[in-house]
Amino acid sequence: MDTIATVTAVQRDRYELNIGTEILYGKLKPAVFYHNAEEVLFPTVGDRVSVMRNADGDSMILRVLQRKSVFIRQNATQGMPDQAVAANFDFVFITMSLNKDFHPSKLERYLTVSWQSGGTPVILLTKADLAEDREDIPARIEGLAPGVETYCVSSHTGEGFEKLEKYFAVGNTIVLLGSSGVGKSSFVNMVLGTERMQTGGIREADSQGRHTTTFKQMFDIPEKIVLPDGCVLRGGGRIIDTPGMRNLLMGEEAGGIGTTFEDIEKLAAQCKFSDCRHESEPGCAVKRALKDGTLEQRHWKMYLNLQREEAYSKERKQILMKKAGKRKRR
């Protein structure tokens, strides 16, 4: 008889599964997961899966149940489907360090894939205790991500954590997204109240943190979170830590670009021609805004880059689907 479990950790081809208070391990059923490219079927942390128990070893994961949200990145292996990084979360904590990690283009990319995932992005600026000039960054973020909640925190002192209490509540699942060394593991340790995740120090050469997380993992947030100053927050939700991704690419799902670059799409709607390519057409509102400086060149180039990546992902998925169809007919 099949059993429903939650994937709580992924280490290569082995999965940690949670059924109530029981922990067991499972592997994939190859014929189902490895030869169907029509959708992302590889389970990931946060997934609810159907499992066939095995009393003598690893259980067999039969299928992935429907997801309410999923964070996707392109597979670095040519010919393979895109990879699911985390699933069934409510909030995406876009984690950037205040000491030399803040880059507008990186933030725009993270915002786009966050909106694309179905989760709600929240911007988390870490290592507030190490930042010397941080006053202007929240204002810059407001221009890039209007309406997105932004918080400055320190996992060393506990600064800013009291403002995050609403996200830690029972029923909420948070996934952390960010580059290597920005303090995601330190953040998880502070929330859990114990050193569950290995952390690295700061490299003196560039003030960047060292990469520590090597696989995806979900944790239960304790009912009470005690900060260094003795303040107690209510918890009870779940949090997912993910490895830092140096080359985060767009998946094939649509929707994120229009939300992150709403200003550009509003401009495009003002062009004289509805099919304007924003190149040499007369009456182009985008070209006019670029010329007078109201639209930043960097912002525009990032918009074009992500559009190209999204188009490539869609084309790539169609090719994989055709290949999968040929295999089935053999």
User: Could you tell me the residue ranges of all domains in the chain?
Assistant: 3-66, 86-241, 256-329
Question: What is the mean pLDDT of the segment spanning 260-280?
Answer: 92
Question: What is the mean pLDDT of the segment spanning 188-216?
Answer: 62
Alpha helices in 148-217 (DSSP H): 184-192
User: Which pLDDT band holds residue 31 (cuts at 50, 70, 90)?
Assistant: low
Measured CA to CA in angstroms, residue 197 lies from 10, 205, 210, 217, 256 at distances of 15, 24, 13, 10, 31
Measured CA to CA in angstroms, residue 123 lies from 85, 111, 148, 177, 236 at distances of 19, 9, 7, 10, 21
Dist. CA 304–CA 315, nearest whole Å = 17
User: Which pLDDT band holds residue 129 (cuts at 50, 70, 90)?
Assistant: confident
Residue 21 clears pLDDT 80, i.e. is over it:
yes
Residue 201 clears pLDDT 60, i.e. is over it:
no
Tell me which residue of 143, 148, 145 sits closest to 295, measured CA to CA.
143
- Output the pLDDT for position 58: 92
Dist. CA 302–CA 311, nearest whole Å = 14
The answer to whether residues 92 and 114 touch, using CB atoms and an 8 Å cutoff, is yes
Query: What single string gives the DSSP state of each residue in 254-273?
Result: -SHHHHHTHHHHHHHTTSSS
The CATH number of the structural domain formed by 86-241 is 3.40.50
Residue 225 clears pLDDT 80, i.e. is over it:
yes
CB within 8 A of 308, min separation 6: which ones? none
Dist. CA 200–CA 204, nearest whole Å = 12
CA dihedral 68, 93, 165, 97 (to 10 degrees): 170
Take residue 44 and report the two structure tokens written for it: 């990931």
Question: What is the mean pLDDT of the segment spanning 125-152?
Answer: 81
- Output the pLDDT for position 248: 58
Dist. CA 47–CA 68, nearest whole Å = 10
Mean pLDDT value across the chain: 83
The answer to whether residues 45 and 216 touch, using CB atoms and an 8 Å cutoff, is yes
Q: How many residues make up the chain in this entry?
A: 330
Q: Which CATH class for the 256-329 domain?
A: mainly alpha
Q: Using a cut of 0.85, tell me whether the model's pTM lies above it.
A: no
The CATH number of the structural domain formed by 3-66 is 2.40.50.140
What are the φ/ψ torsions at residue 287 (nearest 5 degrees)?
-65, -35
Rounded to the nearest 5 degrees, what angle is found at the Cα of 260, between the Cα atoms of 259 and 261?
95
Question: How much is the CA Rg of the chain, to the nearest whole Å?
Answer: 22
Q: How does pLDDT run across 74-108, given as a tens digit for each residue?
A: 766 666 667 788 999 999 999 988 866 678 888 99
